[in-house]
Structures are given as C-alpha cells and as structure tokens.
Amino acid sequence: MHARNYRPVRGQAYTRKKYAKGFPPPKIVKFTMGNTKATFEYEASLIALKRAQIRHSALEAARIATNRILNDELIEEYFMKIRPYPHIILRENKMIFGAHADRLQQGMRRSFGTAIGTAARVKASQILITVKVNENGLEAAKRSLKRGSSKLPIPCSISVKKIESLKAPDKPETET
C-alpha cells in the first residue's frame, strides 16, 4: 500500500493495542536529542499547515534529517524534541492480484486487516518539531527544520521566537 492511503484523517482513531496483535512498534528511536540541561535563547518550531496522519517512518526520517545538520554544525549546543507520538494503528487488507488470485482471496469477507504500522494524527497549526538554540545557531536550526519538513507528507512552516527568561524580577524589600 502507498503511504498516501493513510494520510487523510478518516473515522475514529484506532489505538486499542489490546485487540491488535503483532503490530510493529514505532520506528522513532528518540524523541529528545541534544543538550537537555542547558538554557537557550531562541526556539524554532516546525508547524503543520494541514490536518493529516504522519506515519512513524516519516517522523523518523524527519528526525534524522533535522538532527544530522544540528549535530554537525552545533555539536551539543542545541535541544531538539519530536512532539507528536505515533499511536494510531494502521491496518491493511492485503489483496492478491494476477492469475488465480480469485481462488486465494476472500474480498471483503473478514476484512479487518493486519496491523502494518503506526501513525500520528496531526492538526493544522500543531507543532511537530521544536529546536532550541542560541543566537549563533539560529540559521542552522532553520536550515535543519527545512530539511526535516521535506521528509514529511504535509506542508509545514517554520516559526522562530525568543525565549523569555524565567528569572523573577528583583522585589524591593519591605520592612515590617
């Protein structure tokens, strides 16, 4: 089956792993990469422009493409996080085509299908990948997110914002 058959969001989410036996686990190895303890100045985000389902293999390809540029140029001076988790189970009712196929298949009788993978349901304007960097790594972050968006089946946009520091302002001391 082609991946485009699973892209549109149709029907209810099928997530009951209790009933689906033998489905493959998501291919995504890590959801967070880089330096998790440092504080950064800027946050670049990859934002979905359409509602769709993204297969786990596409999310992993986007992760690898994004992380490769960041790791080469910034070494450990970044933090990257994959936001959606592929929990929708995809099924396929395999049909055989060709000579003598009519003797082997049952058509739509018992057509529940076997689990072939997982996907993440994404809404429009949902954040897919977040990259936190300092000012010197901002261009590398934009380039890496652009490369990662080319691996996804939907159009995406990149937004950059400055992270506000969480320091509390100095309070004047009051005498009692």
Q: What is the pLDDT of residues 66-104, one digit of tens each?
A: 999 999 999 889 999 999 999 888 888 777 776 665 666
Mean predicted lDDT score pLDDT of the chain:
86
Residue 31 lies in a domain: yes
Would you place residue 150 in the very low, low, confident or very high pLDDT band (cuts 50, 70, 90)?
very high
Contact 32, 106 (CB under 8 A): no
- pLDDT value of residue 108: 77
Residue 105 lies in a domain: no
Residue 49 lies in a domain: yes
3-state secondary structure of 54: strand
- pLDDT value of residue 7: 82
Burial letters 17-47, b for 16+ CB under 10 A, else e: eeebeeeeebbbeeeebbeeeeebebbbbbb
Residue 29 lies in a domain: yes
Quick one: which of 29, 33, 150, 125 has its CA closest to 86? Answer: 29
Residue 74 lies in a domain: yes
Beta strand segments in the chain, E:
32-34, 42-48, 52-55, 78-82, 88-92, 114-122, 127-133, 156-162
**Mean pLDDT confidence for 11-34:** 81
- pLDDT value of residue 99: 66
- pLDDT value of residue 70: 95
Residue 13 lies in a domain: no
Going by the DSSP 8-state scheme, the letter that residue 40 receives in this structure is -
| Residue with token string 């209790």 | 18
C-alpha count within 13 angstroms, C-beta hemisphere, residue 171: 5
Residue 142 lies in a domain: yes
Quick one: which of 75, 73, 85 has its CA closest to 27? Answer: 85
- pLDDT value of residue 176: 54
Range of the domain at 40: 3-8+25-90+114-162
Residue 135: CATH number of its domain: 3.90.1170.10
Q: What is the pTM of this model?
A: 0.82
**Tally of domains within the chain:** 1
Q: What share of the chain has pLDDT > 90, as a percent? A: 56
Residue 69 lies in a domain: yes
Q: How far apart are CA 97 and CA 94, in angstroms?
A: 10
Amino acid at 40: F
- pLDDT value of residue 96: 72
